[in-house]
Chains A and B, each alone.
Chain A
Amino acid sequence: MSDHKKVDEHTGTETTRHEWDDIQELDTPMPRWWINIMYMTIVWSIGYVILMPAIPLLNGYTKGMLDFSDRDRVAVAVEQMHAERSARAQELSNASINEIIGDDGLYEFAVQQGKTLFGDNCETCHGAGGQGVVGYPNLNDQVWIWGGSFDDIKYSITYGIRAEHDDTRFGSMAAYGRDEILEPAQINDLVQHVLNISGQQADGVSASRGAALFAENCSSCHGVEGKGTRENGAPNLTDTDWLYGGSAEVIHETIFNGRNGVMPNWNERLSADQIMALSVYVHNELGGGE
């Protein structure tokens, strides 16, 4: 054996006799403690297997003597988070809007909660960021059919609009054409009048006939000047904002068939603190609240 040994001249170290392109591999011995550390890691791993969850079995795994489980720790952490949140939530549902605005932590909590809730529940109809689609109001502007104060918004969310709740907001736009309340010609006159008061091109003669019809049929809800009343959820007809559209065709459609859009009452689906958070979000963060 020893006659096969080859010693590198330069360093005096034995080589492994492996050689690549004249580069020789020196057989430098490792220090003894190095291998001892490896033995220690083996001992450690045995201890680990005994104490900690380690070996997968057909049905489950070895649990280990310490009864340690990451899953349990997560469950505890989630529990803890819920406890912390429910304390905050309790605080939120008992606070007034001014108290919420005055408290950094509570306001932040409400806005963050509200943003998530809005995304989960409201954006389906009201669009991303509450920008509104035809028939579903934009919640960012200052036009509020049923009122834009914090309490108004909260009431609308809680009980809904034309929803199945005794306290829901209710107002009805009748189907003047379909239900034959007015003659087709009268409806045309009304359309011209609405075009006129909203500052659009209209047939003056027809519109003046429409004005009389408006005072008779519409002013009880929309007001004498057509500026709308919030108690009845009757929109202002003199501005440029239209829920369903302001062209002659759409106005005719609205008067002929009526409009009765529904927003559900959320008090049965969301908790009091969630409705509070949502109201703060819509009122403050979307920017239109009064």
Chain B
Amino acid sequence: MSDGKQKTKRGEAAPGIKKSRWEAKTKSTPVKPDSLYKNRTKIFPKRVKGTFRRIKWIALFAMLGIYYFIPFLRWDRGPDAPSQAVLIDFENARFYFFFIEIWPQEVYYITGLLILAAIGLFLASALFGRLWCGFACPQTIWTDLFIAVERFFEGDRNARIKLEKSKWTPAKIYKKTAKHIVWLLIAFATGGAWILYFHDAYDVMAHFFTGGSPMTAYVFVAMLTFTTYALAGFMREQICIYMCPWPRIQAAMTDEEALNVTYRFDRGEPRGPHKKGATWEGRGDCIDCRQCIAVCPTGIDIREGLQLECIGCSLCIDACDEIMVKIGRPTGLIAYDTGINIKRRQDGKPSAYHLIRARTIAYALIILAVGAVMLYGLSHRSVLDLNVLRVRAPNYVTLGDNYIQNGYTVKILNKQAKALKFKIEAVDLIDDPAGLTITEARFKKHGDKIILEVPANETINYKLFLAVKDVTPLSNREDFYFKITDVSDSNNTQQTPTVFVTGKDK
């Protein structure tokens, strides 16, 4: 020992670095001959520290924070509209998102949003592989949280493996029970927060625990509590491997230039245990410590290359970097890299990164285009709509005093938070204003005396009759507009084309 050389002991990958004994089982589980089904191998991810772990914690708290607390944010929309910032109001068929208010007929905004989400996912995949899976997917986030709870009560990887194998003792019962209780509480908060998006959050909170909420509220909370508990507590990586379509889709979304979590086998191989002070010549940097496997939440060996089970969480990068620092080698044996770069380096060429390439440019342009269309749509969204439906039976009526009359149903949509009153006129039909009369059916008022009232955020139908004294200058089907003007704001107008039928050709 005096020469400073330390022996690599049994079970060590390098002096002081314990080799993880747990094998990666997902792939290499011995399958019983002719067995059609594979038994689950439980995974005990080891705790890890590092840059990516920190990013994942930040992402986790940010996203869970958004999910749990957004329903409590308020947004003033006046007395006739709900004051919840984000609200999906099924009863009144409205969707509120801060300053945006969407009516059912504007559901195409959701289409735009979904296109943006899909292309955004494609772009992220083309740049950095499964960024979504590793950092933002609810399955990953809640599983991460549940594993943290598990670690809090049961200890880290080795302790958990030991506890799993041990007999049932009061200590084990306490640890397991406590873990499940906390899991259930988190799951309940998840399901509970869900319903807050559909009714006023404070209102729901006030009635939920006294049994005053509708049955559907309890059913949804129960359902989401169960799914959160089952998926994040028990199913975990099984969801990603067997149930989620995204691992399959991403195969088409990624290419050889996409940065993925990669084991740089050009640098790592040939691998093997390393004695302190021994030469690094003629061997790779991988000391086969298996830390990358120990921390992996899906229990795979990243050194086997890009694979379906890898969710791109980057924790193996942190684990490997920690070891590299300890053994005094450069970090980044596992890093965001491309398969083609490994080949380049093997051929003696330098690494090259092509983040800007045809695929990513195309995705970015699509995102820009769809985003621009949506922004235009939202900023030019009309808050007042006028639809006109002409009565067809009878097509026209000859009144006793020779007037020709047509009937119309006008539908006014007032998307503003205040009640409005409108005057209505027929534009581009007869020059002489005395030559026509508009009559409203219900109150039987005429012309200027007609006031069409539309409450805030409502759609109201009015039946109108338009009678023309002298139809000689008109064609059989004369085009004209109905125009409504806000009584209190003459700039707030809306007009809609329709026709007047004179019945001349009969």
Contacts and interface: CB of A to CB of B under 8 A. Distances in A.
A141 B401 CA distance: 10
A242 B324 CA distance: 105
B441 A284 contact: yes
Contact of B37 (A35, A130, A140): A35
Contact of B442 (A107, A236, A239): A107
Given A31-B38, A31-B40, A287-B441, A2 B401 contact: no
Contact of B397 (A31, A128, A140): A140
Contact of B399 (A33, A132, A142): A142
B407 interface: yes
Given A143-B400, A285-B441, A33 B405 contact: no
A101 interface: yes
Closest 10 CB pairs of A and B: A131-B394, A129-B393, A128-B393, A29-B38, A140-B397, A143-B400, A287-B465, A32-B37, A284-B441, A141-B399
A30 B38 contact: yes
Contact of A141 (B35, B40, B397): B397
A80 B34 CA distance: 61
A61 interface: no
A289 B397 CA distance: 14
7 contacts: A34-B242, A35-B37, A130-B394, A138-B397, A140-B394, A141-B398, A141-B399
Contacts of A241: 398, 400
A285 B39 CA distance: 72
Interface of B: 27, 31, 33-40, 238, 242, 391-394, 397-402, 405, 407, 439, 441-444, 463, 465
Given A101-B442, A142-B401, A129 B38 contact: no
Given A29-B37, A287-B405, 15 more contacts: A29-B31, A32-B38, A33-B238, A128-B394, A130-B394, A131-B394, A132-B394, A140-B394, A140-B397, A141-B398, A141-B400, A240-B402, A241-B398, A284-B442, A285-B441
Contacts of B34: 1
| Residue in B238, B393, B397, B407 with the greatest tally of chain A CB atoms within 10 Å | B397
A131 B444 CA distance: 20
Contact of B400 (A1, A142, A285): A142
A199 to B, nearest CB: 11
A32 B391 contact: no
Contacts of B463: 284-285, 287
A212 to B, nearest CB: 28
Interface of A: 1-2, 12, 14, 29-35, 101, 107, 127-132, 138, 140-143, 236, 239-241, 284-285, 287, 289
B441 A131 contact: no
A31 B40 CA distance: 7
Contacts of A107: 442
B443 A129 contact: no
A29 B36 contact: yes
B35 A29 contact: yes
Contacts of B394: 127-132, 138, 140
Contact of A131 (B36, B39, B397, B443): B397
A117 to B, nearest CB: 16
B444 A31 contact: no
A142 B444 CA distance: 13
Contacts of A140: 394, 397, 405, 407
B424 to A, nearest CB: 16
Contacts of A236: 400
Nearest to B392: A129
Contacts of A287: 397, 405, 407, 439, 441, 463, 465
Nearest to B455: A104
B37 A31 contact: yes
Contacts of B33: 1-2
Contacts of A130: 394
A141 B238 contact: no
A31 B400 contact: no
Contacts of B401: 142, 239
Contacts of B393: 127-129, 131
A141 B393 CA distance: 13
A38 to B, nearest CB: 11
Nearest to B33: A2
A30 B405 contact: no
A153 B36 CA distance: 81
B215 to A, nearest CB: 15
B443 A141 contact: no
B245 to A, nearest CB: 16
B197 to A, nearest CB: 29
Count chain B CB atoms within 10 A of each CB in A128, A140, A284 and give the residue with the most.
Answer: A140
A35 B402 CA distance: 81
A12 B34 CA distance: 15
A34 B443 CA distance: 67
A30 B444 CA distance: 74
Contacts of B443: 101
Contacts of A127: 393-394
Contacts of B391: 129
Contacts of A284: 441-442, 444, 463
A76 to B, nearest CB: 17
Contacts of A31: 37-38, 40, 238, 242
Nearest to B398: A141
Contacts of B31: 14, 29
Contacts of A132: 394
A42 B397 CA distance: 67
A34 B38 CA distance: 10
B351 to A, nearest CB: 26
A82 B94 CA distance: 30
Nearest to A284: B441
A132 B397 CA distance: 10
A3 to B, nearest CB: 12
A141 to B, nearest CB: 5
Nearest to A107: B442
A242 to B, nearest CB: 11
A123 to B, nearest CB: 9
A289 B440 CA distance: 12
Given A239-B400, A284-B441, A285-B463, A141 B37 contact: no
Contacts of B35: 29
B467 to A, nearest CB: 9
A41 to B, nearest CB: 16
A125 B407 CA distance: 21
A32 B393 CA distance: 67
A240 B31 CA distance: 97
A43 to B, nearest CB: 17
A153 to B, nearest CB: 14
A222 B444 CA distance: 29
Nearest to A128: B393
Contacts of A138: 394, 397
A241 B34 CA distance: 94
A2 B34 CA distance: 9
Nearest to A101: B442
A140 B397 CA distance: 7
Contacts of A141: 397-400, 405
